[in-house]
Structure 1
Amino acid sequence: MGTHVIKMPDIGEGIAQVELVEWFVKVGDTVTEDQVVADVMTDKATVEIPSPVSGKVLALGGQPGEVMAVGSELIRIEVEGAGNHQEGTSKVAEPTPAPSVVEPVEASLPREEASKPTPPVLSAHQPSPIVPRAAGERPLASPAIRKRALDAGIELRFIHGSGPAGRILHEDLDAFLTTPTQGTQGASAGYSKRTDSEQIPVIGLRRKIAQRMQDAKRRVAHFSYVEEIDVTALEELRVHLNKKWGDSRGKLTLLPFLVRAMVVALREFPQINATYDDEAQVITRHGAVHVGIATQGDNGLMVPVLRNAEAGSLWNNAGEIVRLANAARSNKASREELSGSTITLTSLGALGGIVSTPVVNTPEVAIVGVNRMVERPMVVNGQIVIRKMMNLSSSFDHRVVDGMDAALFIQAIRGLLEQPASLFVE
C-alpha cells in the first residue's frame, strides 16, 4: 500500500490561495476516483476538488474556513501500489474537531454522506424511537423539508431518514407528525421555552458576501433614488406576448423588459454603465452592457452576468437570465459567468416591498432595484382608475454619478417602461 497526496490545485487567474469551504469525506472514508472530496472558494466562485485516485482517507489538511495556499497538501489517501508520496518528506496535519454548526433552514442541499445514524434512544417524554443526532450534525434534507420542519417547530435531528444515506424524505416527516406523541411534541415546540443558541462560522460564500458588502459600504459614496412607474401597459404587452409566443419561445418575466430599458437608457447616460478603479483613479465607460443579475440562492447572494445584453432580443435575454439563475442556485456557475458585470439589476420579486436601498456592486457605479408590483387607485385624466404600479429603488456611486444624471437615467427608464413600444423603436 502507498500514500497519494492531493495538493491544492492551481485554479488559474493568478490565484495564490483559496478558502476551504467544506469537506465531503472524513478520515477513514473510502473514496473512488473522480469523487468530489472538498469544495474550495476563490474570489469569484466555488470549485469542486475531485480525487484522482481510489483509496482510504488517511488525513485532511485543513478545516472549513481555513485559507490555504495553492500547492499545499489538501488530503492524504491510502492507495494500492506506491502512490505519489514517500513518508518523511512532508506532513499533513491531522484534523481537529470542527466547531458545531447548526445550518439555517435555507442551507443548500448537501451531497450524499455515507455516515450512519446513531442508534435510536428512548426517553420518558418520547416513548417512540427517534434518531438523536448530535446537536451540530446536519441531517440530510431538502430545503422544502427544512421549511416544513421549521414551521412545525420540529428539529430534524430527531427524525429518522429513510432515504439514501439517511436522507429525510417528506414521508418521514409525515410519519413523525402523525405519530401521536411525537406529533404533539412537534406541534407544541413552537411555544416551548428555549435556551439554546448557535454559532455559525462565517465561511465560504457567506464570508465573500460579507467582505464585498462591507467593502462597498466603506468605499462607495452611496446615494439612492426612488421612482414609481405605471407598468399597466407593460404588463398588458407581457401577457399578450406570453399568450401568443410563450409556448414556442418561452415565458417572459418583467426582467428582460427592464434589461431592455436599461440598455436603451444607457445610450444617453454612458457614465452610468461604468466601473471605477478608485485606487488608480480611473473610470472606464463600457460600450457593452454586461448586466449582473442579483440571484438569491440557498447559499447566499450571487451575481451571474448577462453578457452583451444590448445584442439580445427579449427572448434571448430572458432565456439566458433563467439559465444563469439556475446555474447560480445550483452552484454550477463558472467564474466567467460570475464576473465582468458593468451594471447590476436586483429584484426581490413578490417580496420586493415598497422601497429598498440596494448596495452598489463594486467596481460598478450603479445598481437598479425593482420593488413589487401592486394595483393602486390613480388619477388619470381626472378619473380615478386602478393601475399597476411598481417602484424602482436604485443606488449610485456619488463619486462618479451626479444626482441629476442618476435621476434623469431612472426617468428615462420610466418613460420607456410606461410607453413599452418605445423600447423597440430605433
Structure 2
Amino acid sequence: MENATTRKMSVREIRQDFPALRQQVYGKNLIYFDNGATSQKPQMVLDAINQYYSMDNANIHRGVHHLSQKATSEYEEARETIRRFINAEKKDEIIFTKGTTDGINLVASSFGELLSAGDEIIISAMEHHSNIVPWQMLAERKKLVLKVIPINKRGELLLEDYQNMLSSKTKLVAITHISNSLGTINPVEQIIESAHAVGAKVLIDGAQSVQHTKVDVQAMNCDFFVFSGHKVFGPTGIGVLYGKEALLDEMPPYQGGGDMISKVTFERTTYNELPFKFEAGTPHIAGGICLGTALNYLNQFDSKELEEYERDLTEYAQEMLETFENITLIGTAKNKTSVVSFHIPGIHPFDIGTLLDKQGIAVRTGHHCTQPLMDFYQIPGTIRASFAFYNTREEIDAFIAAVEKSISMLG
C-alpha cells in the first residue's frame, strides 16, 4: 500500500470513524464480531456514497456532458487506487465485478472455455462454497476432474498431498488465501510456485485477506485474485477480479452487452479492450468509486500495524476460549488471523448465537458456507467471532463473559 502520510493507529479514534459501532442492541453497546461476513463502513465511505447519488449521478464511459465525464473519471481513478492497493502491474488488469463469487464465476466460465475433457482443477477442503460450486459446475459441463487438497485437524493444508496431486493435467489451482471459517493463512506463494512448475494457473480467493494483510499480486505471482468490497469496508455489490493481462486477453468474454464491445453488426461483433471486455452493461458506479474511497481510508494506516493488532486480538480471544473445558476450538493453525471458531458439544451454535445477540454481541453461527469443512470436523457448524482493527480486547472480555453466561443458561 502506498501511504503519503501514515495515520497513527488509535483504536478509540478509529471507532469514531464508524457510526454503526456507536449504536446499542437490546440496550447493550454493540460488539460487532461478524466482520468475516461483512465489515462496517467508515464515515468517509458513507459520505462518498451520498455525494455520488446526490450530486455526481450519471452513467459512465458514454456521455460527453460534465456529470458523465466526472463520474467516469472518479470510477477510473478508483480502478487505479485498487491497482496500487494490490500492486497489479496495469490498471487494465483490474476488472470490476459484483464480488468474490462473481469473480470466481467469471473465471470458471471464461477461463473454463480454454479447458478440455480430462483436464484437472485443484481446490482445498477449506474452501467457501463460492470456490467449490463453480468448479463443480465447470467440471460437469466440460468433463474435467476436480481434486481436493486435504487438511489436518488444526485446519492446515497437507502440502505433501498437494504436491502429489500436481501433474501436467493440472490446469488450475483455486485456493483461499485466508479461510473464512478457520482463519488459517495458507502459504499461497509456495502453492503458486508449485502449480506454475507444472504449467497450471492459480486463482487466489482473497475475500478474507485484503482487509487483514498486505497483498502484492506481482510478488505473489498469482494469475487471478478476487475479493469483495463489502468485506474491506466498502459497499456491497462490488468486487474485483485481478488477472494477468496476457491471460485475460486470451479468455473469451463472460457476458455480452453494452460497453464490452468494439463494434456490433448483425453478422458479427468485435470485443472491447481490457478491462471493458469483461464489464458488460452499466456497472455499480457508486460501488466502484466508494470501494476506492474505502481503500484510501485503509491507506492512511500502516498495514503491518493493523495486521499485528488483529493477530493480537485473535490470539487473545483464542487463549481465553481455551480456558473453557467444554469448548472445542475449530481451526488452530499455527499461522492464522482474525477468526476464532468454536463448537460446544451438546449445544447447537444457533442457540449460543441467539443468546449472544441478546447481550449485544454479533457473531456468525452455522457452517459459514463451508459445509464440506464442517463434515470433516463432524459438527453441524461453529460459533465464529471474526475481528477487524476497530475491535478491542475489552470487547473480547465482554464476549467471553457472555459465552460463559450463555453456556450456563443452556447447560
Q: Please tell me the TM-score bracket, short chain as reference.
A: under 0.3
Q: Which has the higher contact order (CA 8 A, sep 6+)?
A: 2
Higher normalized helix content (fraction of residues)? 2
Structure index of larger Rg? 1
- Normalized against structure 1, the TM-score is what? 0.26
